[in-house]
Amino acid sequence: MEPMLLKTEIDECQLSIERDDFYYQLTPDELKSLAIAEEQSRLGLVMSSEEVRREVRERYASKLGIRS
């Protein structure tokens, strides 16, 4: 009887993971985008958050009335 109990516990654990992990709800396009992003990251094609914030400030400063 123990093997069946163990299988049930594993099944419950897997269901919990699938229910709580949004990965299982992603569309094929979203999964493709994530795969591309992972590859870009692996290749070092990333920007720091500070670089992103600087670019956003530069791009939208005039629209937001912000002066550098």
pLDDT number for residue 32: 96
Of 3 and 31, the one with more pLDDT: 31
pLDDT number for residue 1: 46
pLDDT number for residue 31: 93
Backbone φ, ψ for residue 9 (5° rounding): -65, -40
* Span 9-63, pLDDT tens digits: 667 776 666 666 677 788 999 999 999 999 999 999 999 999 999 999 999 888 8
> How many CB atoms sit inside 10 A of residue 26's CB?
13
Question: Is residue 38 classed as helix, strand or coil in its secondary structure?
Answer: helix
- What's the rounded Cα separation, in Å, for the pair 49 and 54? 9
pLDDT number for residue 34: 94
Cβ 68 vs Cβ 61: under 8 Å: yes
